[in-house]
Amino acid sequence: MTRCVVLGGGPAGDVAALHAAQRGADVVLIEERELGGTCLNRGCIPTKSLLATADVYRKIEHAATYGIEVASPKINVPAMLARKNDIVMTMRRGVEGACERKKVRVIEGHGIIDGAEVAVGDERIGFDTLVVCVGTAPKGLPFVDMTHERILTSDDILDLEVIPETLTIIGGGVIGCEFASLYATLGSKVTVIEALPRLLAGIDGRVVGQFQALMEAQGVTFLTGTGVSAVSTKGNRTTTVLEDGTGVDGEFLLVAVGRAPLTRGIGLEEAGVEVDERGWIVVDSLLATANPAIYAAGDCIGGLQLAHLASAEGARAVDNALGIEVRAMDRTVVPSCIYTHPEIAAVGLSEETAKAQGLDVQLTQTRFRGNGKALAEGEPDGVATLVVEKGSGIILGATVMGVHAVEVIHEIAVAISDGLTGEELGEIIHAHPTVSELIMDTAQHSLKLAPYLS
């Protein structure tokens, strides 16, 4: 029986371990903290739990528009956090139970690679194949005291016991925008500072522009194209100084400038594994490292840092390492989801990335204001954008902003994966009324055949 050790128990690692056990390997999973990694414990799941609370709060605040009269809602922060923690624990117990059922041995501790073994404390675990899935941690800023109680990372803010009157966020990426959406809904005055010319790099520029306008209407201030030169604290205040000398005051400062791999000090280089200057593990298309016995998957290899991609990489790394259905990791169709209000989801190519590849494309947009289900839910703001190749009509990508966007996007993912054209997607009968039928309308609109739009 092949001995497989998995280092790291996040979305890549726990899937790798469980998949290896299903493939008949003798599996040991080593995790320094909690099973489920960042996503389950300090990322995807807790943030979405808090955002769900914000959605309920928003609905109650606007209950009168639905014909319901209620008193002004009050946020119970301890109860909100307790609910978040209960959801995390439920999910974590699910991972623990899966490992127990599949006879994956779980060891809690810091694993260090030493030859053909991994040392955890006084124990040494031999392996035939090792899959490294050690993940990442929030980055700080070198000129900021990241230990100060008023300066938070995306880990820290999940346990913040107050709703700040004012919150400054450095970083206008996915993490920064999600927390801006959360706290703006809960009543904070939020300022987001982004060094790049616009928010959400990699998302369709037209959609980002519309998203920013909607967020600004919710009271969020965005300062783009400007860096930060200094941060100071005094009492219960933080001051973030921009490059032009302007100061932005806040009760708390969230630093959301990306994440760094946790690859140092675990024996990778000594094991012959190449690690680049930023700490990312270098792998080939099969997810193999320079050491033939060691594979790697998930956020620690760089690229898109998405839990669902990490899980897919974990399973693929195991199959390749065990010599089962060996094939390259395919990242052609990977949905990206942003859980702001409104939600944003994208898959495949945007108009910008398609043109950068020299493709001749047609862009079609359809607004949520024409969708009966979105209007019924009180969510009229949004747009669906479809990118198809001129001539062939093949769907290359889509960006959807609006209610249920993170669910709707998978229809486009399947269409791209199956090589469908806009015409073929438009011919698929969609239930009415649904938000999903907006995708059918958009596909028909690309052919000037949408009954209510063209």
Sign of CA dihedral 6, 8, 9, 14: negative
Helix (H), strand (E) at residue 38:
helix 37-42
Contact between 138 and 153 under an 8 Å Cβ cutoff? The reply is yes
Beta bridge mates, 385: 365, 399
Phi/psi for 132 (5° steps) reads: -95, 120
Residue 86 Cα to chain centre, angstroms: 21
Distance between CA atoms of residues 9 and 7, nearest Å: 7
Contact between 17 and 8 under an 8 Å Cβ cutoff? The reply is no
Cis upstream peptide for 433 (omega within 30°):
yes
Catalytic residue numbers, as ranges: 432
The alpha-helical segments, DSSP class H, found in 324-404 are 351-356, 372-376
The alpha-helical segments, DSSP class H, found in 199-241 are 205-217
Please provide the DSSP assignment of 127-142 as one string. Answer: -SEEEE---EEE---T
Helix (H), strand (E) at residue 88:
helix 77-101
Closest CA to 184 of 134, 128, 228, 222: 222
Contact between 408 and 366 under an 8 Å Cβ cutoff? The reply is no
The first and second tokens of residue 339, run together, are 């859980």
The first and second tokens of residue 31, run together, are 């995790």
Longest C-alpha distance within the chain, in Å? 70
Closest CA to 47 of 91, 12, 4, 16: 91
Please provide the DSSP assignment of 241-268 as one string. Answer: EETTS-EEEESEEEE-S-EEE--TTSST
Distance between CA atoms of residues 172 and 178, nearest Å: 9
The first and second tokens of residue 101, run together, are 């059922």
The alpha-helical segments, DSSP class H, found in 295-382 are 307-322, 351-356, 372-376
Helix (H), strand (E) at residue 240:
strand 237-242
The first and second tokens of residue 43, run together, are 């990322």
Closest CA to 168 of 80, 98, 76, 257: 257
